Amino acid sequence: MIRDQLPALSGVAYLNTGTNGPLPRAAADAMREELRLSLEQPRIGRASFERLIAQREAARAAAGRVVGAPAQEIALTRSTSEGVGLVMSGLDWQPGDEILTTTEEHQGVRGPLDVLRRRHGADVREVAADDLLAAISKRTRMVAVSHVLWTTGRTLDLPAIAERAHAAGAQLLADGAQSAGNIAVDAHASGADYYTLSGQKWLLGPQGSGALWVSPARTEQMWPVLANYLGLERGEVGRFKEGAPRFDPGSIDPVTVVGFTAAIEWIEGLDGGRAAWVARTAENAAAARERLASVPGVHVAPTGGQPNGLLAFTLEGADDTEALTARLAEAGVLVRFIPGTPWMRVSVGAFTSADDIERLAAGLAA
């Protein structure tokens, strides 16, 4: 039943949710209906505006449920990268402020860090994930890392990182692009000060959707760098909205907003809800890990203390991972390679079938 509601799975082994997940029918239906209303009804007047605000609040609440937080602590964004940028650009920096990150971060983190280095003279240090805790010192102002590394699927111990960072007087920014929807996330329990997430990946939402959780303790310490009407209380300049909604970067197409909400609600409406979805993802990933490890020449990367749906592996003799990805795609097996590394990456979801993994194993064996 689940696979029937994800038409993009038809005919292929869909193993790249870490880039874009399959869109559920429920999300597409909601988006079509919103587009129909936008075509057939005036997009002006009080009723239209109130509907727009209600849609945004529904999306905010849905994203909050994903990370175990109230809607008031959520800002709507268009991507994880935008959330990262809102945080990094919204803080006051001084030359020499140290920001720690790992050597395995996505450009969505590394790009904004490079701007801080060049614009404000921040001291950006990239260290191996294993060395991160030891690298935190009284010089450190922020630690910016992924909850689940996009390269290997390794899950970082955010509570331990947060404890060390806060003891040193630093803040923790967590990139949740590969975690939200993949594993259970509790923003408060993670210890993070800021937690970003993507809508189009593991949450199966449309492109251009996402959210940012901001700890209530940090709201007043961060500037709304894209200040706009939607972030103001009753539209009054000088009065920001309470909580994280003040950080909303502006208008997001209502078609995208309702699709984001519908995708989250679709999973919540399944038997067992999101908890069962995450558990099924972990079960399928464990089975995939075991099957891949049995293929001669395949070496699967460790994922740390919390296994998840993102798996990375190498294949002996396959030095050109881009070419290998293309060959697998020709066979209907959709995976990705990680540029600049030897890793091939597989995303296993709650919807992944045993046949999908067998097709991948057969393609690698060939």
Q: Which domains does the chain have, with CATH numbers?
A: 3-23+272-365 (3.90.1150.10), 34-268 (3.40.640.10)
pLDDT at res. 304: 73
pLDDT at res. 361: 97
CB 297 within 8 A of CB 238: no
Q: CA-CA distance, 111 to 82, in Å (whole number)?
A: 11
> What is the 8-class DSSP label of residue 129?
G
CB 204 within 8 A of CB 268: no
Q: CA-CA distance, 321 to 298, in Å (whole number)?
A: 13
pLDDT at res. 307: 82
pLDDT at res. 287: 97
Tokens standing for 113?
A: 């860090």
Cα dihedral sign, 279-282-284-287? negative
SS3 320: coil
The secondary structure of 235-283 as a DSSP string is G-TT-BPSSGGGG--S---HHHHHHHHHHHHHHHTSTTHHHHHHHHHHH
Tokens standing for 342?
A: 């030897």
pLDDT at res. 26: 98
CA nearest to 185, candidates 203, 161, 165: 203
pLDDT at res. 305: 72
Q: CA-CA distance, 340 to 90, in Å (whole number)?
A: 31
Q: Residue 140: how many CA atoms within 13 Å on its side-chain side? A: 25
Please state whether beta strands 123-127 and 98-102 pair in parallel, antiparallel, or not at all (unpaired). Answer: parallel
Cα dihedral sign, 93-76-57-64? negative
Mark the ranges of the chain whose per-residue pLDDT is less than 50. none
